[in-house]
Amino acid sequence: MTTSLADMTRALLQDLGVPATDLDGGDLAVHTPLTGEVIARVRTSGSGDIERALHQASDAFRIWRSVPAPRRGELVRLFGEELRTSKTELARLVTLEAGKIPSEGEGEVQEMIDI
């Protein structure tokens, strides 16, 4: 049985905790440059969505800047650990989404971890 790139993408995203409901039914088709196949359909955002996101980001920053620097550093380190835990899956997604060879996909994720 052959697995499509769309099925592989869905499985990887679900392994990473993305709800299945977020992977279908959107109005924007995402194509992989590897084959041109549609690997997902995502919803686009309107101006109201963007406004809400900007306000939420601004509110979150006000909280974040009051967190002591050592604690912020620890939270960033923990985020890096989460990336490291999912490095293989994330690298595969980079390969599918951007058409990069696997070693470049791994390098992209490693850069995220190193930052």
Domain that holds residue 18: 5-109
> What pLDDT was estimated at residue 21?
79
Q: Is 65 within the bounds of a domain?
A: yes
DSSP label of 86: T
CATH number at residue 16: 3.40.605.10
Rounded-to-integer distance, Cα 16 and Cα 11, Å: 9
Are 91 and 106 spatial neighbours (Cβ–Cβ below 8 Å)?
yes
* Residue stretches of the chain with pLDDT short of 50: none
> What pLDDT was estimated at residue 65?
96
pTM, 2 dp: 0.80
Q: Is 115 within the bounds of a domain?
A: no
Domain count, the chain: 1
